[in-house]
Structure 1
Amino acid sequence: MKTDDWIAMLATGAQPVPAHALERRLFAALVAGGAGAATLMLLVFGLRPELAQMAALPMFWGKLGFAAALALPAGWALLRLARPGADWRRVLRWVALPVALVWALAGWALLQSPEADRWGQVLGSTWRSCPFNIALLSVPMWIACFWVLRRAAPTRLAWAGAGAGLLSGAVGALVYAVHCPEMALPFVAVWYVAGMMIPTLLGALLGPRLLRW
């Protein structure tokens, strides 16, 4: 069989990809992953009885805002990494910006606090479990993101896996913030970021295996 005939046979019945198909898949993954994380949070941790009082504190919304500020550029980066040849590096500054801002504000808060209170603000009472709780709640979104990438055409597999992990970690942190009793900014700057890094590193390690064509 000639090459032209072979190509024509392979192309028979091929249909163009619907416009914005990847965006719709990612939106469906966000809905499914977010719902899965919320369900897992309710099953494993439950709602705190003092949630209404926590919601009256500015830092409660600050935690949610920080996680959302990372989830948005992480989703944008994932859309680019899912396409071959798309420019994604300039998105990194929008990923780094909320982290740098929270670290700067946390450093300022520590400088304004008495020295005896600084470690308490960093460690809180849940530092041993917080990162792993966030990583646990990221699992539904992690699976959903890799489902999206498996149906796309990523070429930088480690970076694509890391992007999926970062988005998953941000969603996990967003959901966990509803349960988390910690309200100190230095705690969030250290342990929330650590929790989001767990699925990010896992995605970078497993991306080349799970996303291989």
Structure 2
Amino acid sequence: MKTDELIGLLSKKVAPIGQTIVSRRFAQALVAGALGSFILMSFVYGLRPDLSSISRTGIFWGKLAYPFAIAVGALLTGLRIGRPGVRGGASWAVISLPFVAVWIAGALVLDGATPTGRLPLVLGQSWKSCAFNITLLSVPTFPAVFWAMKSLAPTHLRIAGAVAGLLASSIATVVYCLHCPEMSPAFWSVWYTLGMWIPALMGAWIGPRALRW
């Protein structure tokens, strides 16, 4: 049998993959992961008691917007680099801009504070546990995102793993905002960022094994 005939025989019963299968898989992963993180947060930490009143303030929505914007950037980047041979391109800027914006906002807050008041703005009330809490809440989302990412058949496994970890941790951070009492960009720029980057580094480490296909 010739090579062309063999290829034709093998491809006869191959059905085309639906155009929306990837988006559906990521939607399922993100919804399931976010729900799992919310349930975990509710049991371990609980909602902040003043959530109904604080949710009427602009600073609260700014706090939510920070990890949400990173999640959007990580999703767009993941959908690109998850495909064989495709690079992130301009989508890296979508990830970077929220970090830069919050670092600038944090610097402005510190610049307007007294010298003795700057460290409390950075440390807040929960600096010792914040990054760990975000990492813990990433646990339900982490495998769900990796499952969706693997379906794209990525070839840059370490980078894809880092982006998947960042996507998981940014979703977890959005959920964590419903508990966290910290309301200063100076705090978010350090401890939220660290909490999101720990799972990203973990994703880069396990990516070559977990995303191999």
TM band (smaller chain): over 0.9
Matched length: 213
Q: Which residue in 2 is equivalent to 1:30?
A: 30
Retained in 2: the 8 A contact 1:134–1:173?
A: yes
Q: Which residue in 2 is equivalent to 1:132?
A: 132
Retained in 2: the 8 A contact 1:77–1:88?
A: yes
CA-CA distance at 1:72 after TM superposition: 0.7
CA-CA distance at 1:9 after TM superposition: 3.4
Q: CA offsets per residue over residues 60-113 of structure 1, 9 Å max, x none?
A: 111101111111111001111221133413211111111001101110110110
Q: CA offsets per residue over residues 12-55 of structure 1, 9 Å max, x none?
A: 31011111211111111111111111111111111222222322
Structure 1 portions without partners, runs of 5+: none
Q: CA offsets per residue over residues 90-137 of structure 1, 9 Å max, x none?
A: 211111111001101110110110000100000011001001111111
Retained in 2: the 8 A contact 1:138–1:169?
A: yes
Q: 1:178 is paired with a residue of what secondary structure? A: coil
The root-mean-square deviation of aligned C-alpha atoms, in Å, is 1.3
Name the TM-score, length of structure 2 as normaliser. 0.95
CA-CA distance at 1:10 after TM superposition: 2.5
Q: 2:212 is paired with a residue of what secondary structure? A: coil
Q: Which residue in 2 is equivalent to 1:116?
A: 116
Q: After TM superposition, list the pairs within 5 Å mapping 1:8-87 onto structure 2.
A: 8-87=8-87
Quick one: distance in 2 between partners of 1:4 and 1:36? Answer: 48
Q: Which residue in 1 is equivalent to 2:174?
A: 174
Higher helix share: 1
Structure 2 portions without partners, runs of 5+: none
Name the TM-score, length of structure 1 as normaliser. 0.95
Q: Which residue in 2 is equivalent to 1:147?
A: 147
Runs of 4+ in structure 1 over 6 Å off: none
| AA partner of residue 46 (structure 1) | G
